[in-house]
Chains A and B, each alone.
Chain A
Amino acid sequence: MGLNNRYEFVLLFDVKDGNPNGDPDAGNLPRMDAETGMGLVTDVCLKRKVRNFVQMTQTDNANRKIFVREKAILNNMIDESHEQEGVKDKEKGDKTEAAKNWMCKNYYDVRTFGAVMSTGKNAGQVRGPIQMTFSRSIDPVVASEHTITRMAVTTSKEAEAQSGENRTMGRKFTVPYGLYRCHGFISAHLAKQTGFDEDDLELFWQSLMQMFDHDRSASRGEMSARGLYVFKHSNALGHAPATVLLDRVQVQRKEECDIARNFNDYQVEIDDSNLPEGIELIKLLG
């Protein structure tokens, strides 16, 4: 059980005419770094997609259940007996530990990302091995606002007000094109604590590469994983600072291209020469 190797990874993904991650503070505009204009996608946004992918594809797998669920894809599941605990249990010590282990064993997201579970007064918590950061776009992104119309209204009151015209207008935001870069870290030591193993890791890589293919919606536009570069250390502690490795993946807009609208407008350069001893670079995608 557990992993024997530390890993770091770079995930590249792009969006075309879509909104990769809306900002609730800005009326659902694509998230942006106000100072640099770079697009942002939060860590939790991508983790949600990993969870959804696993939940969707691993239904037959008893120990790959997802704890933090989204209802939208749950319609076909009958499991509604989510009980509320009226009286707080006062079990402590061994029982807490056993419960924690049981959760790790049964739930993929608990052993991957961790979870907070309350145990009476204290919060029993699991720290998962996988840590992801905010994704940033390579170039500044622009958000285009589109006004759209609907040839219907919701209420009859609205219809009366329009004397039967029955039209509403809405807004939607898109990024014409953006290539984003996400960094991730996998701690073998924490994997040992939660029982996250090689098969789980395999599924995690698969989910990073395929999650966008199962997350199509009106707002997302075309999103795709474009590159997944994994640095594998030959032991659990690692052999080199994470930055030194992550910097070996350089992504740049091609010189002849002023405005990027396509993945081909970018050049991904990977320096795999003279890798530090004990480091293996695995190009899973791209």
Chain B
Amino acid sequence: MGFCLEVTGDYACFTRPEMKVERVSYDVITPSAARAIFEAVLWKPAIEWHIHKIEVLKPIRWVSIRRNEVGAVLPVGNINKAMKGGALPALYVEDARQQRAGLFLKNVAYRLHGSFSLTKNAGDSDNVGKFVEMFKRRAKKGQCFNQPYLGCREFSCDFRLIEELENENSTIEESRALGWMLYDMDYQQSNNPMPLFFNAVMNNGVIDVPEKQSDEVRG
């Protein structure tokens, strides 16, 4: 059972892994970010989302924004020490400051086509019909687990369930080879997730996303 969500937002950043210090976004949403949007509406360990098609509804436009960020993380050892009565950990922004520019997308809209399948975690009481209805009900009413976002949490997005594709906005008339793009992370080894890539091509604003198991997706 496939679903279609239209998502729109003022900004987006689907960070390229090779340029993540000063973030540069991919030209379009990645299947992995699209999956996270479906998951923000409904996800249980019993189901797994798959993205099949991404439709680009607005021209690809860019904006550069530089922000002060923190370039450090807290070692867990400091927390353990504090829990045993040691000094309280703190992170001083002034000491760990980094100014980072980001090249973000501006004014984006996509139609995302996805479906889910049951995983091996599905119990006896789980069935496809139940989750189909749950997803539809939530998406129609605008309900979500957390507000979905376009790559980074500051770029929250609106979403709308599309049930009839007629009378919807058409995709942009642009075809382009987008190059190798992140497909998703492979979490089979949970302590060492591995990235998967695919060669993305946009045909008149439409990107067909191959299946995860197919030869077109490479680790």
Contacts and interface: CB of A to CB of B under 8 A. Distances in A.
Interface of A: 8, 23-25, 31, 33-35, 40, 42-44, 48, 65-72, 74, 79, 81-83, 85, 88-89, 91, 95-96, 98-99, 102-103, 106, 115-124, 127, 129, 131-134, 136, 183, 185, 187, 189-190, 237-244
Interface centre among B66, B95, B99 (most CB of A within 10 A): B66
Given A102-B79, A124-B76, A238 B143 contact: yes
Interface stretch (B52-60, B84-92, B109-117): B84-92
Tell me the dominant secondary structure on chain B's binding face. Answer: mixed
B141 to A, nearest CB: 6
28 contacts: A23-B65, A25-B64, A25-B65, A66-B90, A68-B91, A69-B91, A69-B92, A70-B94, A71-B95, A72-B94, A74-B92, A82-B92, A83-B78, A89-B75, A89-B80, A91-B80, A95-B76, A99-B83, A103-B74, A116-B73, A117-B76, A117-B79, A124-B76, A131-B153, A133-B156, A187-B145, A237-B138, A237-B145
Nearest to B69: A44
Given A24-B99, A25-B66, A132-B154, A95 B141 contact: no
A133 B79 contact: no
B66 A103 contact: no
Contact of B147 (A33, A88, A242): A242
Q: How large is the interface on B (under 10, 10 to 19, 20 to 34, 35 or more residues)?
A: 35 or more
Contacts of B126: none
B74 A71 contact: no
Contacts, number: 162
Contacts of A35: 63, 106
A81 B89 CA distance: 8
B73 A24 contact: no
Nearest to B155: A133
